[in-house]
Chains A and B, each alone.
Chain A
Amino acid sequence: MPIIVEKLTHKYMPNTDNEFVAVQDISLTIDDGEFFGIIGHTGSGKSTFIQHLNGLMQPTSGSVTVDGFDMSDKKQRVRGRALVGMVFQYPDYQLFDSTVLDDVSFGPKNMGLDAEEARQRSLEAMRMVGLEPEHFAEKSPFELSGGEKRRAALAGIIAMRPKYLVLDEPMAGLDPSGRREILATIDSLREELKCTVIMVSHSMEDVARAAGRIAVMNDGRLYAVGTPDEIFSKTKELISMGLDAPQTARLAQELRERGFDVPQDIYTNERFVKWLRGRVKHA
């Protein structure tokens, strides 16, 4: 069953001088098994939006339903929250225990699993994210490198076996090779666990490469939802909103403005190279 969001609005400090509408009137459905990307610049409301998906925030109006569980109902929220794993941007906000293994088991233990089962799941999760238990299990999470910390945080969520995996800027602050590795890990997790992935990012390249469907947020509103083809054919609008289109899409746009006939669906390196080869042959 999907995640259904209906007319979701969230206001911070409602009915005061400081009232601020972070998310306004968003309706969308995220289907099972999707890789759903959410893009938007800083302050567009994307972080606020995803925190509604597992009930960390409550809508001011509208509703969020996860697998039929109404997230505004206290009892149903607990059941729904167990289905939605949420990985925050900074692993430093969640790592706390003395060893990586203990930290990863925090979630499973909270779910009420017995020690042995929690341990098994945690070891499995660590392997999946590429932290070999032989080497990392007994290490302190504070000794890890930035990329490893992020993996450990991810493992902590995976070990809870969520049906939906929500990732808030999973690659922010990592170097290019770290980004690629995390993205590859997410991809393989998706195949192994068959879970739905919802990823927030402002790196257009990453979203363009990985996501099957993309939502663009601007000023708390849903600007557009569609396949990468549909979204990145609007490169011009994206740029005018202060968003970055993928570098290749920008290059294509520049070329178009200078009179070259570049097709609208070119926004990845692979396609661009293919198109360029075709042209070179003709010339």
Chain B
Amino acid sequence: MLKDITLGQYVPGDSTLHRLDPRVKILLMIAYIVAVFLVKRIEVFPIVIIFTVAVTLLSRVRLSYLAKALKPMKLLLPLMFLMNLFFIKTGELIFKWWIIEVYKDGLINAVFIVLRLATLVAGTSLLTLTTTPIALTDGIEKLLSPLKIIKFPAHELAMMMTIALRFIPTLVEEADKIMKAQLARGADFESGNVIKRAKAMIPILIPLFVNSFRRADELAMAMESRCYHGGEGRTKMRVYSFKTIDLIAVIVMALLIAAVVLLNKYMPAVW
């Protein structure tokens, strides 16, 4: 029942994007978001689109995975488009039928917003598509580690994320088993009003919680018995190093941002 849920979107591979240092990748993603937001004029957008498509091709991730990442937006995108299209009433009137009026600024804004959202989601999901959750949390830990000076628990935070990610599939599987055990006892999760249905969840939630607490306890014990005592003095099995491709990636991103800024200013207006 619940088993068909796929969690984590990582697609194994060995592309240039897969091989980048996760720390660099996270920073580049932030830079990419900045680049997308720096675009001020629709004429400049093609360069961002070309960049996104090029990087996607470079990652060798199948387009269907990217489409899946965009799927949650399938309601939001058309809605944003229509809102901008009909509610912005400046510029030339370019279309009129009955009470529907479309103005030039509205059309441009609508296209602009949709492009911005779509490239944002597509570009950022490339990070999770090409980075394992473990590498991702490692990267976050490393990036946050300067904050340790002000007692920010970077290692503990990363460990918590790792554990949470690790146990999501376990919990899903367990919830599935508990649901079946209660179904076999005639539990009914599907009929009745909201209150009755919420009540019907109790026989699932209680065993799920009880088992989770027990497991957390066991895990803590297992970690302690292996002398885990937080991040201090802990070494890593995977040591990340800043390599040539990382440098190239950073330069490419810098060029993109520079191009966006310059084009914003100097590109001749089309409209």
Q: Which residues of A line the B interface, CB within 8 A?
A: 12-13, 51, 54, 56, 81-82, 85-86, 88, 90, 92-97, 106-107, 110-111, 142, 156-157, 160
Which residues of chain B are within 8 angstroms of A85 by Cβ–Cβ distance?
184
Minimum Cβ distance to chain B for residue A75 (Å): 14
In this complex, how many residues of chain B approach chain A with their Cβ under 8 Å: the count is 20
Within 8 A of A (CB), among B171-201: 174, 177-178, 180-188
Give 24 pairs: A residue, B residue, CB < 8 Å, sorted on A.
Answer: A12-B3, A13-B4, A56-B183, A85-B184, A86-B181, A88-B177, A88-B184, A90-B177, A93-B174, A93-B178, A93-B181, A93-B211, A94-B178, A94-B182, A95-B207, A96-B203, A96-B207, A106-B187, A107-B186, A110-B187, A110-B188, A157-B184, A160-B185, A160-B186
Which residues of chain B are within 8 angstroms of A12 by Cβ–Cβ distance?
3
Q: Which 7 A-B pairs have the closest CB atoms?
A: A110-B186, A96-B206, A94-B181, A86-B184, A107-B185, A93-B181, A93-B178
- B199-218 vs A, CB cutoff 8 Å, 1 = contact: the mask equals 00011001100110000000
Which of B4, B186, B210 is the one whose CB lies under 8 Å from A92? B210
Which residues of chain A are within 8 angstroms of B174 by Cβ–Cβ distance?
93
Question: Considering the chains assembled together, what is the distance between the CA atoms of A154 and B184 in angstroms?
Answer: 12
Which residues of chain B are within 8 angstroms of A56 by Cβ–Cβ distance?
180, 183-184
Q: Name A162's closest neighbour in chain B (CB-CB).
A: B184
**Chain B's interface: helix, strand, loop or mixed, by majority?**
helix
Question: Considering the chains assembled together, what is the distance between the CA atoms of A10 and B133 in angstroms?
Answer: 32
Question: Considering the chains assembled together, what is the distance between the CA atoms of A12 and B6 in angstroms?
Answer: 13
Within 8 A of A (CB), among B203-247: 203, 206-207, 210-211
Given A94-B178, A96-B203, 14 further pairs, Cβ under 8 A: A12-B3, A51-B180, A92-B207, A92-B210, A93-B174, A93-B177, A93-B178, A106-B185, A106-B187, A106-B203, A110-B187, A110-B188, A142-B210, A157-B185
Which of A92, A97, A106, A110 is the one whose CB lies under 8 Å from B211? A92
Which residues of chain A are within 8 angstroms of B185 by Cβ–Cβ distance?
94, 106-107, 110, 156-157, 160
Which residues of chain A are within 8 angstroms of B181 by Cβ–Cβ distance?
86, 88, 93-94
Known: A88-B177, A93-B174, A94-B178. A54 touches B184 (CB 8 A): yes
